[in-house]
Amino acid sequence: MSGLFSPRAWNKIWIYRGTFLLGLTNTLKTAVVALLIALLLGIIFGLMATSNRKILKSISRVYVEVIQNTPVLLQMCFLYYALAFSGHSPGIIVTGFLALGIYTGAYMAEVIRAGIESVPKGQFEAAQSQGFGYAGQMFYIIIPQSIKVILPPMTNVIVNMIKNTSCLYIVGGADLLSLTYSFVTGENTGGSYAPAYIVCGVIFFLICFPLSSFASMWETSLKKRDQKVFQNGTPKEA
């Protein structure tokens, strides 16, 4: 264990704490912008998947299947090299925004589609019969009901996205994990493997653990409530 108990190694981490902070900022920045792109794509393709037009449905299907069945690393490399070799190098962080946004967008689309489909069809018809347009129907009737089904899996998708920011390593890396790696392998800073990885791992854990436990707690309570409704035999939304 290189330097797990050596005060010198830990001291080195403290001196170079800026590296870790920079990595953390980059990771969070990438995650937030990618999340916005992913939400936008997810809402667009999720709504397309639940629309009645066959062509819109199939476009959304193709997007989701192609993106979900290829590795995010490959998409990121593809985007980076394709842009770099055609002379518009976008920079590492922007590659991260785009690649992670597009990849996560496919998962968001699936989550949103499942959420909307969880609302009984009669609700759509009822809304239409009351004269709601498409936007009003979605905004006032469907989304308030599906949001509780959508949120837990969406949180899991976000956790995975935060973990996936480490993919940036392959295109040059400016995120937390890549900077940790270059810290421990660097000429001047190298050697203190164990302390550096512990710091990096703890940061990731502190960000992801609250999110994922929130998601699983919410999911359990949803299931319990459903069971109660089912056992009483009087479903709330009848």
Partner 1 sequence: MNTLDGSLSMLRNPAIIKFILQGVLFTLIISVAAVLFSIVIGTVLALMRNYCTGKQTGVLKALSVIYIEVFRNTPLLFWIFICVVFCPAPGFVDRQMFGLSSVNNKLLFKAAVALILYTSGVIAEIVRGGLNSVSHGQIEAGQSQGFSMLQIMWYIVLPQTFRAIVPTLLSQVITTIKDSSFLANVAVIELMARTKQVLSAANRYNGLNSINVSDVFVLFGLAATIYFVINFSISMTVRNLQKRKMSVKVKKTLALEERRQTGWAYNG
Q: Which is nearer to partner 1, 123 or 212 (by Cβ)?
A: 212
Q: Nearer Cβ to partner 1, position 205 or 230? A: 205
182 scored as a contact of partner 1 (CB under 8 A): no
SS (H, E, C) the chain: CCCCCCHHHHHHHHHCHHHHHHHHHHHHHHHHHHHHHHHHHHHHHHHHHCCCCHHHHHHHHHHHHHHHCCCHHHHHHHHHHHHHHCCCCCCHHHHHHHHHHHHHHHHHHHHHHHHHHCCCHHHHHHHHHCCCCHHHHHHHHHHHHHHHHHHHHHHHHHHHHHHHHHHHHHHCCCCHHHHHHHHHHCCCCCCCHHHHHHHHHHHHHHHHHHHHHHHHHHHHHHHHHHHHHHHHCCCCCC
Q: Does 154 interact with partner 1 (rule: CB under 8 A)?
A: no
Residues 41-80 as x/- pattern, contact with partner 1 by CB under 8 A: ------------------------xx-xxxxxxxx-xx--
- Looking at beta carbons only, is 38 or 79 nearer to partner 1? 79
Taking CB under 8 A as the rule, which mask of x and - marks residues 96-135 in contact with partner 1? ----------------------------------------
Q: Which chain residues interact with partner 1 by CB under 8 A?
A: 1-2, 65-66, 68-75, 77-78, 81-82, 85-86, 159, 163-167, 169-170, 177, 180-181, 193, 197, 200-201, 204-205, 208-209, 212-213
